[in-house]
Structure 1
Amino acid sequence: MYIVQIASECAPVIKAGGLGDVVYGLSRELENQGNCVELILPKYDCMRYDHIWGLHDAYRDLWVPWYGGKVHCSVYCGWVHGRLCFFIEPHSEDNFFNRGCYYGCNDDNMRFAFFSKAALEFLLQSNKRPDIIHCHDWQTGLIPVMLFENYKYEMGLQRVCYTIHNFKHQGMGGKETLWATGLNNEPYYFTYDRLQDNFNPFALNFMKGGIVYANAVTTVSPHHAWEARCTEIGSGLGHTLHLHQDKFTGVLNGIDRDFWNPESDRYIPAHYSKENLEGKAETKKALRERLLLRDVDKPIVAYIGRLDAQKGVHLVHHAIYYALNNGAQFVLLGSATEPGINTHFQHEKAFLNENPDVHLELGFNEELSHLIYAGADMIIVPSNYEPCGLTQMIGLKYGTVPVVRAVGGLVNTVFDRDYDQTKPPEKRNGFVFEHSDEPAFESAMERAFKLWYNHPEEFRQLALQGMEYDYSWKDPGAEYLKIYDQIRHK
């Protein structure tokens, strides 16, 4: 199958969050399963050019219709860790992608509307006719709209899979978006069953357009698909998803099995596997030495991730003192997205600086994250919402028992040792709590601590059961191929 991925990110060359990891990981898996995959990306001035091999002109004169005129673009081609990528560079006074950033500009909606138009124009003019166009998040929501309304007679039957990674950011535009992209017909698109935002009759919603026009719509875990359709997590798109539920599903993200693997991880001092866990104890000792924690017979509880409201920052803070008061050590690696939260954790870091049982690392460090995943006994993920979550998957791979809240992809990957009804005891792999409050969190932590202290062999067995799970891209890749196959033959 010939598949073209169109996205605003692809790790490691363009990475602002998890989207880049997914686009790269899925593309590699699809290739591993025997498909031809190409990626189309914006050519940002600030992307990591050191991760591109053999960057060269691929298509010098791409003229993209825009506001009744045409914008001249160049398309470059290069390999990003084995993936064939095309980068679109507009030569325009708007400087769409020469901003020193990926997102955060006042005209982001027009920047990515142009990118979507340019990506389709590149496919048309270069005579590329993929079996599947797979686009991602609001930035490419207009692609299925324009493909159907403007390009279907020239392009033929191109089928589109549209994946939503974050319902919070949906991309809004006005009538200028229609005139710029050549969609033009205001009364036609400003209707509830097409692009009109569900709550603002004067706005066009890019993500809604993607949902309405794509042949298949996915999000990043089965439970999050239910949440988006039936709860406020859908950020106002619940009814649209309900109307299109026959083509909407959740496919769990995967993790890179080469990069996250305790048997070969270059960032940890001792390798280990589920057959031989000795290296984990050695790595735990190395983690304590690195962070100046005292070497005592205590469990290490870890948190790795952003410090913000989505991630349940109030419970992350509470976890520090709960762990210390219950005979455990605590390690945190994360950066705050808001100044107030950053100030709060800087204060906590200063206050706890001399405590030999806690270390707060404010910022992000790739090497240290691997050491923490491998050296900790438990990892907490107390998110308010979590579309998929990779932290718990990585923790399981490293034999680090997850303690998670029952939301999003956490529900699909972590099964409570004591109460889960969907798995037999030998298939359970962590601790789960329901409500986003301190008593609920403490109830799960208390069970984890009691098991570690009173039944160490059973705790070890739970960690081994977690390591049995394969959350690589293998199964998600196969699931996407099934979706592609279904929409190709509709």
Structure 2
Amino acid sequence: MFIVMVAPECAPVAKAGGLGDVVFGLSHELEIRGHAVEIVLPKYAGMRYEDVWDLQPSHHDLWVPWYDGTVHCTVWFGYVHGRKCFFIEPHSQDNFFGRERMYGYDDDALRYAFFCKAALEYLAASGKRPEVVHCHDWHTGLLPVLLYEQYAQVLGDQRVCYTIHNFCHQGLTSPEVLWATRLGRVDHFLAQDRLGDDTHHGAVNPMKGGVVYANFVTTVSDTHAAEARYGDSACGLGHTLHRYQDKFGGVLNGVDYDVWNPETDPYIPAPYSASTIERKYLNKEALRERFMLRKSWSPLVAYVGRVDEQKGMHLVHHALFRTLAAGGQFVLMGQEQKHNGINGHFQHLKDHLNNNPDSHLELSYQEELAHLVLAGADLLVVPSLFEPCGLIPLMAMRYGTVPVVRATGGMRDTVFDRDHGEHADDRRNGYVFQHTDNQAIDSALQRAFGLWTDYPEDFRSLMLNGMRADHSWHRPADHYLDIYEHIRHK
């Protein structure tokens, strides 16, 4: 099967979060199984170009219709750790992708609408006719709309799978995007059964467009799919998901074990496996040295993720001081978000704790360093208010780091409490709490610290349960291939 992924991210060359890991990992697994996979991305100025091999122009003159004119683009080709990637570079005064960062601009909706249009123009101009186009998040929500409304006669019967990684960001924008892409017919597309947002009158909702026009829609765990349909996790799209429930479902994300594997990880000083788990503590010492923490017999707790309200940062703050009060150590590696008031709080906290020998706050995300943090920590806190999948706990478990998570989204499907629940002992792999108050995470941390301190052999068993669980892309890829076959023959 020939599959084209169209996405705003692909790890490690262009990554802001778990979306990039998913695009890379799923593409890798599909290729292993003999399918042809190509990835289409924007050519960002800030990409990690060192991770692209043999980057060269593939299509010099791609002309993309835009408003009442055209925009000249160059399409580049290169391998990203073996994945075939095509990067679209517009030559426009709008400077769509030649900016400091990937997201966070007032014209993001127009930038990614252009990307959708350019991706389809590229497929048409290059003669590529994939059996399935797999789009990701709101940034590509307009692609199935444009494909059906403008490109069906040119590209033929292309089938689209559309994956929503985060309902919180839907790309709401003005009807100008309809004129820019030449869809026009504002009244037609603003209808409630097309692109008109359900709660913001007169707004175009690209994510809703993806749901309406795609052949199948997924989100990144079964639990989150249910939360979106029956709760408020769809952020206003619940009615639309209910209407299209026959083509909506959850597929739990996987982890690429060629990348996240302590046995072969080039970014940690002491590789290890379940049978040599004692070597993990060499990485713990290396992590302490890297962040100038004192050597001590104490649990080391980590947080890795965005500094964002969604992630339950008030609970991260509390977990930090709860850990220090219990005699433990705390490491935070958090990617700051633009226009986010939480950043200032954690910058102040970093300054306040600058000389504390038991804590370190790294307010940036470095992929290589994330490997060392996961390998060196004993516990990982993930107290998210909502979490569609929760990739970082899956990665942590592969490294024998025990997750302490809030029961939401995909973490309900993957993290099973050591003390409570119906799962067999060999499937219990962490600590789970329900509520969003300090007492809830306190209870989970207290149980984790008690096991680490008083029952080290039982804590090691918990670590090994996580390491031995299979959270690879093998089963998720099976599900996606079933979806692809379903929509190909529908």
Is the TM-score greater than 0.5?
A: yes
Larger CA deviation: 344-353 vs 240-249: 344-353
Report the counterpart of residue 127 of structure 1 in structure 2. 127
Aligned amino acid, residue 169 of structure 2: H
| Structure 2 CA distance for partners of 1:87 and 1:300, relative to 1, 3 Å | closer
Runs of 4+ with deviation above 4 angstroms = none
2:349 counterpart of 1:348: yes
2:78 counterpart of 1:78: yes
CA contact (8 A) 2:308 2:340 kept: no
Query: What is the DSSP-based 3-state SS (H/G/I as helix, E as strand, rest coil) of the residue aligned with 2:331?
Result: strand
For residues 34-49 of structure 1, the aligned pairs below 5 Å read 34-49=34-49
Report the counterpart of residue 396 of structure 1 in structure 2. 397
Separation in 2 of the partners of 1:89 and 1:368? 30
Deviation at 1:467, TM superposition (A): 0.8
Report the counterpart of residue 485 of structure 2 in structure 1. 485
Separation in 1 of the partners of 2:74 and 2:348? 49
| Structure 2 CA distance for partners of 1:366 and 1:77, relative to 1, 3 Å | closer
Aligned amino acid, residue 27 of structure 1: S
CA contact (8 A) 1:293 1:356 kept: yes
2:199 counterpart of 1:199: yes
| Structure 2 CA distance for partners of 1:415 and 1:72, relative to 1, 3 Å | same
Aligned amino acid, residue 434 of structure 2: E
For residues 262-341 of structure 1, the aligned pairs below 5 Å read 262-337=262-337, 340-341=341-342
Separation in 2 of the partners of 1:274 and 1:195? 50
Deviation at 1:246, TM superposition (A): 1.4
Report the counterpart of residue 143 of structure 1 in structure 2. 143
Deviation at 1:145, TM superposition (A): 1.0
Separation in 2 of the partners of 1:89 and 1:363? 27
Deviation at 1:350, TM superposition (A): 4.1
Aligned amino acid, residue 419 of structure 1: H
CA contact (8 A) 1:12 1:48 kept: yes
Separation in 2 of the partners of 1:173 and 1:440? 38
CA contact (8 A) 1:77 1:85 kept: yes
Separation in 2 of the partners of 1:289 and 1:61? 51
Deviation at 1:66, TM superposition (A): 2.6
Aligned amino acid, residue 53 of structure 1: W
Report the counterpart of residue 217 of structure 1 in structure 2. 217
Aligned amino acid, residue 410 of structure 1: M
Query: What is the DSSP-based 3-state SS (H/G/I as helix, E as strand, rest coil) of the residue aligned with 2:170?
Result: coil
TM-score using structure 1 length? 0.94
| Structure 2 CA distance for partners of 1:74 and 1:264, relative to 1, 3 Å | closer
| Structure 2 CA distance for partners of 1:246 and 1:443, relative to 1, 3 Å | same
Give the paired residue count: 489
Separation in 2 of the partners of 1:204 and 1:81? 37
Deviation at 1:301, TM superposition (A): 1.7
CA contact (8 A) 1:198 1:236 kept: yes
Report the counterpart of residue 359 of structure 1 in structure 2. 360
Runs of 5+ consecutive residues of structure 1 not aligned to the other structure: none
Separation in 1 of the partners of 2:100 and 2:284? 40
Separation in 1 of the partners of 2:429 and 2:266? 26
Report the counterpart of residue 180 of structure 1 in structure 2. 180
Aligned amino acid, residue 302 of structure 1: A
2:387 counterpart of 1:386: yes
| Structure 2 CA distance for partners of 1:442 and 1:59, relative to 1, 3 Å | same
How far does the alpha carbon of each residue in 1:426-456 deviate from its partner, in whole angstroms, 9 at most, with x for none? 2111110000101111111111122222222
For residues 432-447 of structure 1, the aligned pairs below 5 Å read 432-447=432-447
Deviation at 1:403, TM superposition (A): 0.6
CA contact (8 A) 1:335 1:342 kept: no
| Structure 2 CA distance for partners of 1:413 and 1:151, relative to 1, 3 Å | same
Larger CA deviation: 233-242 vs 183-192: 183-192
Separation in 2 of the partners of 1:309 and 1:345? 12
Aligned amino acid, residue 63 of structure 2: W
Separation in 1 of the partners of 2:424 and 2:152? 50
Report the counterpart of residue 415 of structure 1 in structure 2. 416
| Structure 2 CA distance for partners of 1:72 and 1:331, relative to 1, 3 Å | closer
RMSD of the alignment, in Å? Answer: 2.0
Report the counterpart of residue 61 of structure 1 in structure 2. 61
Report the counterpart of residue 163 of structure 1 in structure 2. 163
| Structure 2 CA distance for partners of 1:318 and 1:120, relative to 1, 3 Å | same
Separation in 1 of the partners of 2:324 and 2:222? 35
How far does the alpha carbon of each residue in 1:80-102 deviate from its partner, in whole angstroms, 9 at most, with x for none? 22122222233333333333432
Query: What is the DSSP-based 3-state SS (H/G/I as helix, E as strand, rest coil) of the residue aligned with 2:22?
Result: helix
Separation in 1 of the partners of 2:354 and 2:92? 52
Separation in 2 of the partners of 1:340 and 1:90? 33
Larger CA deviation: 104-113 vs 209-218: 104-113
How far does the alpha carbon of each residue in 1:371-421 deviate from its partner, in whole angstroms, 9 at most, with x for none? 221222211111111121222112111111111000112111101112122
2:235 counterpart of 1:244: no
| Structure 2 CA distance for partners of 1:290 and 1:118, relative to 1, 3 Å | closer
Deviation at 1:242, TM superposition (A): 1.1
Separation in 2 of the partners of 1:292 and 1:41? 39
Q: Percent identity?
A: 59
| Structure 2 CA distance for partners of 1:51 and 1:355, relative to 1, 3 Å | closer
How far does the alpha carbon of each residue in 1:4-32 deviate from its partner, in whole angstroms, 9 at most, with x for none? 11112222222232222221221111111
Separation in 1 of the partners of 2:187 and 2:352? 60
Runs of 5+ consecutive residues of structure 2 not aligned to the other structure: none
| Structure 2 CA distance for partners of 1:352 and 1:180, relative to 1, 3 Å | closer
Report the counterpart of residue 117 of structure 1 in structure 2. 117
Deviation at 1:236, TM superposition (A): 0.7
Separation in 1 of the partners of 2:342 and 2:113? 34
Aligned amino acid, residue 357 of structure 1: D
Separation in 2 of the partners of 1:90 and 1:464? 49
| Structure 2 CA distance for partners of 1:200 and 1:339, relative to 1, 3 Å | closer
| Structure 2 CA distance for partners of 1:113 and 1:294, relative to 1, 3 Å | closer
Report the counterpart of residue 373 of structure 1 in structure 2. 374
How far does the alpha carbon of each residue in 1:123-150 deviate from its partner, in whole angstroms, 9 at most, with x for none? 1222211100011111111111111122
Larger CA deviation: 312-321 vs 221-230: 221-230
